[in-house]
């Protein structure tokens, strides 16, 4: 075993030099997490978290995470880190979540906030950059949210991604890359990927901006202000003549042409306008492709959600710019302990069945289970809660 795992950590350590880790939280120092995480006091009814590895786990200490403790509550808690921008860099957001209580309705997602978020007052209206993770309510809502805040609006992922609904710990990772691609991984497996622009319906937003820029600013061109703009462009389609002699003729450069290629979605009518728009694309507040995945001042991570039945455990939070580091961190945390979890769960189920048998003996005329949650002996929600608490 050890021989297999040591290289993983070794690789992990090697990558530290290259990766930037903005935030990492494994809750390995007892109650000290309370110094790092701020519970919101926006409402006196906000539910409390405790540190717990739950009823079954792979490793009692390593699997400790933030667990929701009160039914039918809103939860709001967050932690800060040194603010950063993901401009030009990959952004990986990763964590583990376990719904050991048989989640019926509630959030299992995290939110990433701008640095100026008011932690003490964190609530459902607090503006966030990214919301990511599973949301379950009955049989209808079982999805992974990936909501991006952009241009003062929240944009949900169009492609629906199914989340895990069993009671085990699952590793969720979101990767946003500067080339405008993204990937969602669950338990280390790629579940969804593609282009941010298309999978968040940002294409229309982009076109909208282009159109308004075109119509609004065109008047400037009409009153003669376009004259100063560069009117020539390198002809990208030209190729070096075969008889070109670099020693005699110097370095070859593509010829300058007056009319730039048409930009998609734009229908310029004349050359001047065409050139002007081309300049406009380069110089002003057009949405550059890049903007779509850029967050200027990322500074906090938090849990802001509602749960009908509590018991969810959040752990192994990571924000980094390095996909490989995240992958290794996932293997070293979730990957290390998950294999032991299934046998532990079986033991816990057996203990529950034993408790049920004892109760049967004491109260043989108990109300029958209504059979709303078939197939889970020993873990029948309504009944268990009533008897255990
Ligand atoms: C909770 O937050 C809302 C919205 O920001 C605010 O209006 C309200 O005053 C806050 N409540 C408390 C008790 O701080
Ligand atoms: C996409 O965005 C446009 C403009 O913002 C909006 O009208 C349309 O309803 C959106 N489509 C979807 C599927 O969200």
Residue 202 and residue 269 in contact, taking contact as beta carbons nearer than 8 Å: no
- Mean pLDDT, rounded, for 259-275: 39
Predicted confidence at residue 254, as pLDDT, reads 63
pLDDT for position 306 = 95
More confident residue, 361 or 312: 312
Give, for ligand 1, the residue of 41, 42, 44, 116 to mutate: max count of ligand atoms closer than 8 Å to Cβ: 42
Residue whose entry in the numeric block shows the structure tokens 């906000």: 46
Determine the Cα–Cα distance for residues 63 and 200; give it in Å rounded to an integer.
34
Cβ atoms of 216 and 235 closer than 8 Å: no
Ligand nearest to the CA of 155: 2
The CB density around residue 55, as the number of other CB atoms within 10 Å, is: 16
Parse the chain into domains and list their residue ranges.
Answer: 21-201+295-347
If we measure between CA atoms, which residue out of 166, 173, 77, 171 comes closest to residue 120? 77
pLDDT for 384 beyond 50: no
pLDDT at 9: 56
DSSP 333: I
Give the Cβ contact number of residue 47 at 10 Å. 20
Is 204 touching ligand 2 by the criterion CB < 6 Å? Answer: yes
Lowest mean pLDDT, pick from 7-16, 232-241, 362-371: 362-371
For residue 348, what are the contacts with CB-CB under 8 A and spacing of at least 6?
55, 56
Highest averaged pLDDT of the listed ranges 121-135, 213-227, 238-252, 258-272: 121-135
Residue 95 annotated as lining a ligand binding site:
no
pLDDT of residue 172: 97
Integer Cα distance of 197 and 169 in angstroms = 31
CATH number of the structural domain 21-201+295-347: 2.60.120.200
Please report which confidence band the pLDDT of residue 238 belongs to, taking 50, 70 and 90 as the band edges: low
Protein residue with its CA nearest to atom 9 in ligand 2: 201
- Give percent of the chain with pLDDT exceeding 70: 69
Is residue 243 part of an annotated ligand binding site?
no
Q: What pLDDT is recorded for position 248?
A: 74
How far apart, in Å, are the Cα atoms of 265 and each of 212, 214, 219, 223? 12, 11, 20, 25
Pairing of strands 312-320, 91-99: antiparallel
**Ligand 1, residues at Cβ distance < 6 Å:** 42, 121, 123, 125
CA of 42 to the centre of ligand 1 (A): 5
286 is in an annotated binding site: no
Whether 109 shows a pLDDT value over 70: the answer reads: yes
Kindly indicate the confidence band of residue 289, based on its pLDDT and cuts at 50, 70 and 90: low
Nearest-CA residue for atom 10 of ligand 2: 201
Q: Specify the higher pLDDT residue, 324 or 254.
A: 324
Residue of 56 and 256 predicted with greater confidence? 56
* Mean of pLDDT values over 30-52: 96
Does 205 sit in the ligand 2 pocket, CB within 6 Å?
yes
The answer to whether 235 is a known ligand-binding residue is no
Going by C-alpha positions, the residue among 165, 166, 96 that lies closest to residue 135 is 165
Nearest protein CA to atom 11 of ligand 1, as residue? 42
Which ligand does the CA of 160 lie closest to?
A: 2
Section 79-89 average pLDDT = 95
Taking the CA of residue 118 as reference, the ligand 1 atom at the shortest distance is 5
Is the per-residue pLDDT at 89 higher than 80? yes
Ligand with an atom nearest the CA of residue 45: 1
pLDDT range class, residue 142, cuts 50, 70, 90: very high
Q: What is the pLDDT of residue 338?
A: 79
More confident residue, 228 or 194: 194
Q: Strands, E, within the chain: which ranges?
A: 21-25, 37-39, 49-52, 65-68, 73-84, 91-99, 105-107, 110-114, 130-137, 141-150, 153-156, 169-176, 181-186, 189-195, 233-234, 256-257, 298-307, 312-320
CA angle 62, 46, 174 (to 5 degrees): 50
Q: How far is residue 6's CA from residue 84's CA, in Å, rounded to a whole number?
A: 32
Contact status, residue 142 vs residue 161, Cβ threshold 8 Å: no
CA 129 / ligand 2 centre spacing (Å): 19
Compute the distance from residue 265 Cα to the ligand 2 centre, in Å.
17
Instruction: Over range 11-24, report the average pLDDT.
Output: 73
pLDDT in tens, 151-182: 888 999 999 999 998 889 999 999 999 988 99
CA of 203 to the centre of ligand 2 (A): 9
With 70 as the cut, is the pLDDT of residue 318 above it? yes
Average the pLDDT over each of 89-103, 291-305, 340-354, 372-386 and give the range with the smallest value: 372-386
Q: Region of 220 please: left (phi>0), alpha (psi -120 to 50) or beta.
A: alpha
Nearest Cα neighbor of 320 from 335, 298, 338, 336 is: 298
Give the separation between CA 109 and CA 163, rounded to whole angstroms: 11
Instruction: Identify the top-confidence range among 17-26, 200-209, 314-323.
Output: 314-323
Give the pLDDT score at 237: 57
201 lines ligand 2 (CB under 6 A): yes
Q: Is 135 annotated as a binding residue?
A: yes
Nearest alpha-carbon partner for 149 in 291, 335, 34: 291
State the pLDDT at residue 231. 39
Residue 111: CB atoms within 10 A of its CB come to 27
Ligand with minimal distance to 153 CA: 2
Which of 83-97, 201-215, 374-388 has the highest mean predicted lDDT (pLDDT)?
A: 83-97
Q: Is the pLDDT of residue 320 over 70?
A: yes
Counting atoms of ligand 2 from 1, which one is nearest the CA of 156? Answer: 14
Please give the residue that has the higher pLDDT: either 209 or 123.
123
Q: What mean pLDDT is reported for the chain?
A: 77
């Amino acid at each position: 075993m050890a021989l297999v795992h040591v290289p993983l950590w070794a690789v992990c350590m090697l990558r530290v030099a290259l990766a930037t880790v903005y935030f990492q939280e494994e809750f390995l120092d007892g109650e000290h997490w309370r110094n790092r995480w701020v519970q919101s006091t926006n409402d006196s009814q906000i539910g409390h978290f405790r540190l717990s590895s739950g009823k079954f786990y792979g490793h009692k200490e390593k699997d400790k995470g933030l667990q929701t403790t009160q039914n039918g509550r809103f939860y709001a808690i967050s932690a800060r880190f040194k603010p950063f921008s993901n401009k030009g860099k990959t952004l990986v957001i990763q964590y583990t979540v376990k719904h050991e209580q048989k989640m019926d309705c509630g959030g299992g997602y995290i939110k990433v906030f701008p640095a100026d978020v008011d932690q003490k007052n964190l609530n459902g209206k607090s503006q966030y950059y990214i919301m990511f993770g599973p949301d379950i309510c009955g049989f209808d809502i079982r999805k992974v949210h990936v909501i991006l805040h952009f241009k003062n609006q929240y944009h949900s992922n169009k492609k629906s991604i199914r989340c895990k609904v069993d009671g085990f710990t699952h590793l969720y990772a979101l990767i946003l890359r500067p080339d405008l691609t993204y990937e969602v991984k669950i338990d280390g497996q790629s579940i969804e990927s593609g282009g941010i622009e298309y999978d968040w319906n940002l294409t229309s937003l982009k076109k909208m901006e282009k159109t308004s820029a075109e119509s609004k600013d065109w008047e400037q061109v009409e009153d003669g202000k376009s004259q100063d703009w560069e009117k020539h462009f390198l002809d990208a389609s030209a190729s070096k003549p075969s008889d070109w002699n670099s020693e005699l003729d110097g370095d070859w450069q593509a010829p300058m042409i007056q009319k730039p290629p048409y930009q998609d979605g734009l229908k310029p009518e004349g050359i001047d306008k065409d050139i002007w728009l081309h300049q406009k694309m380069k110089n002003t507040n057009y949405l550059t492709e890049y903007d779509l995945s850029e967050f200027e001042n990322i500074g906090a991570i938090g849990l802001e959600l509602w749960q009908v039945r509590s018991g969810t455990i959040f752990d192994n939070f990571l924000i980094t710019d390095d996909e490989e580091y995240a992958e290794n961190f996932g293997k070293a945390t979730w990957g290390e302990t998950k294999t032991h979890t299934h046998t532990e769960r079986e033991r816990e189920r057996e203990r529950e069945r034993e408790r049920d048998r004892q109760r049967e003996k004491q109260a043989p005329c108990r109300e029958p289970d209504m059979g709303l949650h078939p197939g889970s002996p020993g873990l029948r929600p309504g009944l268990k809660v009533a008897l255990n608490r």
